[in-house]
Amino acid sequence: MPANLPPQYFEAEKNFRAAKTPAEKIVALEEMLAIMPKHKGTDHLRAELRSRIAKLTQQAAKKTGVQRTSMIIEKEGAAQVAVIGLPNAGKSQLVASITNALPTVADYPFTTYAVSPGMMEFENIQIQLLDTPPLVPQSIEWWLPPMLRRADALLIMVDLSEAPLAQMEAVMEQLEKMRIDIGARKIEEEVLSRQKALIIGNKLDLAGARENCAALQNKYGEQLPVLAISAKGKIGLEELKRKVYQVLDIIRVYTKVPGEKPDFDDPIILERGSTLADAAEAVHKDFRAKLKYARVWGSGKHDGIMVRRDHILQDGDVIELHM
């Protein structure tokens, strides 16, 4: 299958060839990766670019002295969500409250200098959260924009006790400079990544927070989900987990062997709108071609009904694959 690469890809490729430092080369490669269409014809090229990025990242880490873990965090669990915001918004407090991570939490700004990952449990799956450095122009490292583009979604935290609308404007300005679109306003220049996002108003327990949250909802509620919490007071955290799952727009599908009960401990994670054929490939790369038929419990008209390869699966479906 041909790659059918757009003109913008070859422009980014020129930038890569002209780049002189590992950091500049990584930025160009990330741009090529973001522009490249996703289909079977680009799988090999996509893997090659990722391999180049990994090698260059190691080189950049040696030259700058920055730990490699600060630059590339491999995805784990069902999805990867980057927690972003201005200083003192409560990002580290949130990650510490709902994951197994132990980031530095303090009442003064700039306590997060590197990225700290943690796993958040939601029902029977785990979602990876990344506690990131604050989005302040003078402190944004070159490796942060590619990391945010690679994430499956962004969780934008604002402090409800201190001008949250101004904080959101500042965050969106930085995202625009990174050429990341979250759909909250029209961006004229070409973007590299359109990210799913959720706005979290933190410090709900402080004075004026509810009124400020209403202002956030009025301005951004039609474009993005808005939720109020208190990370320190552990208010609204269970609802937050559910909202994160909803924003990711993924589904859980379970498998069963004929004559046995389904395995509800290890679901297949798929994008919403995925088909039975997609699920078969997720189980094993060869299963898509070998699949003869399947039975489904959940979204079929009747439990255990035979379905075609193009059957659209729903969250909670159980499938029985026959090769």
Task: Give the pLDDT of residue 233.
Answer: 93
Q: Which residue has the tokens 């790369």?
A: 285
Q: Which residue has the tokens 């379970």?
A: 254
CB 140 within 8 A of CB 174: yes
DSSP label of 122: E
For residues 258-287, give the mean pLDDT. Answer: 89
Task: Give the pLDDT of residue 36.
Answer: 81
- Angle ∠(201,207,212) on CA atoms, nearest 5: 40
What residue type is assigned to position 118 of the chain?
Answer: G
For residues 167-183, give the mean pLDDT. Answer: 92
Domains detected in the chain: 7-65 (no CATH), 70-248 (3.40.50.300), 250-322 (3.10.20.30)
Task: Give the pLDDT of residue 85.
Answer: 95
CB 103 within 8 A of CB 95: yes
For residues 86-97, give the mean pLDDT. Answer: 92
Query: Predicted confidence band at 109 (pLDDT cuts at 50, 70, 90)?
Result: low
pTM given for the model:
0.82
Residues 6+ apart with CB under 8 A from 167: 85, 86, 89, 158, 159
Task: Give the pLDDT of residue 101.
Answer: 65
Give the three-state DSSP class for 304.
coil
- pLDDT (tens digit per residue) in 127-157: 999 999 999 887 788 778 888 988 999 999 9
For residues 108-126, give the mean pLDDT. Answer: 79
Q: Are strands 125-131 and 80-85 parallel, antiparallel or unpaired?
A: parallel
Task: Please tell me the number of Cα atoms within 13 Å of 101 on its side-chain side.
Answer: 25
Burial of 308 (0-12, 13-18, 19+ CB in 10 A): exposed
Which of 133, 148, 153 lies closest to 240 in space, CA to CA? 153
Task: Give the pLDDT of residue 144.
Answer: 87
Give percent helix, percent strand, percent coil of the chain, each to the nearest 5: 40, 20, 40
| Run of H or E residues at 23 | helix 22-35
Q: How far apart are CA 174 and CA 123, in angstroms?
A: 34
